[in-house]
Structure 1
Amino acid sequence: MTLRIGIAGISGRMGRLLAEEAVALAALAGGISRSGTGPDGVALSPDLATLAGISDVVIDFTHASTVVPHAAALASVGKAWVLGTTGFDAAGTQAIAAAAQKIPVIAAPNYCTGVNIAFAIAERLGAILPADAYDAEILEMHHRQKVDAPSGTALGLGRAVAAGRGVKLEDVMVSGRHGHTGPRKDGEIGFATLRGGQIVGSHTLSFTAASEQISLTHHALDRRVFATGAVRAALWLHGKPPGLYTMRDMLGL
Structure 2
Amino acid sequence: MRDTQAPLRLALHAPDGRMGRAIAAAVAEDPSFVLDQERPELLVDFSSPDGLRGSLDRAVGAGIPLLVGTTGLGEGHDSLIADAAQQIAVLKAPNTSLGVALLADLAERAARVLGREQWDVEIVEAHHRLKADAPSGTALHLGTAIERGRGEDCKEELGRSGLGLTRETGSIGYAAIRGGTVAGDHDVMFLGPDERLILSHRAESRAIFARGALTGARFLVGKPAGLYTMRDVIDAA
Classify the TM-score, shorter chain: over 0.9
Determine the C-alpha separation between the residues in 1 that align with 2:16 and 2:51.
16
TM-score by length of 2: 0.93
Q: Post-superposition shift, 1:240?
A: 0.6
Query: Which runs of at least 4 in structure 1 moved beyond 6 Å after TM superposition?
Result: none
Deviations 1:76-132 (A, max 9, x none): 221110110011111100000110110011111111111100000000111110111
Alignment of 1:111 with 2:118, yes or no, is no
- Aligned-partner residue type, residue 83 of structure 1: V
Q: Post-superposition shift, 1:69?
A: 3.4
Q: Post-superposition shift, 1:187?
A: 0.2
| CA RMSD, Structure 1 to Structure 2 (Å) | 1.3
1:93 to 51, 75, 78: 78
TM-score by length of 1: 0.87
2:117–2:169 Cα contact (<8 Å) kept: yes
Determine the C-alpha separation between the residues in 2 that align with 1:95 and 1:7.
19
Q: Map 1:65-144; keep pairs closer than 5 Å.
A: 65-144=50-129
1:140–1:151 Cα contact (<8 Å) kept: yes
Specify every segment of 5 or more residues in structure 1 that has no aligned partner in the other structure, as ranges: 31-50
Of 69-78 and 200-209, more deviation after overlay is shown by 69-78
Q: Post-superposition shift, 1:181?
A: 5.3
The residue number in structure 2 matching 1:3 is 8
State the SS of the aligned residue for 2:133: coil
Determine the C-alpha separation between the residues in 2 that align with 1:165 and 1:236.
29
Determine the C-alpha separation between the residues in 2 that align with 1:129 and 1:155.
19
Percent of residue pairs identical: 39
Q: Post-superposition shift, 1:13?
A: 1.7
The residue number in structure 2 matching 1:165 is 150
Determine the C-alpha separation between the residues in 2 that align with 1:141 and 1:244.
28
Of 72-81 and 54-63, more deviation after overlay is shown by 72-81
Q: Post-superposition shift, 1:72?
A: 2.9
2:94–2:137 Cα contact (<8 Å) kept: yes
Q: Tell me the matched-pair count.
A: 229
Determine the C-alpha separation between the residues in 1 that align with 2:42 and 2:163.
49
Determine the C-alpha separation between the residues in 2 that align with 1:3 and 1:69.
22
Determine the C-alpha separation between the residues in 1 that align with 2:82 and 2:29.
31
Determine the C-alpha separation between the residues in 2 that align with 1:15 and 1:235.
17
Specify every segment of 5 or more residues in structure 2 that has no aligned partner in the other structure, as ranges: 1-5
- Aligned-partner residue type, residue 131 of structure 1: R
Determine the C-alpha separation between the residues in 2 that align with 1:135 and 1:16.
39
Determine the C-alpha separation between the residues in 1 that align with 2:53 and 2:13.
14
The residue number in structure 1 matching 2:197 is 214
Alignment of 1:59 with 2:65, yes or no, is no
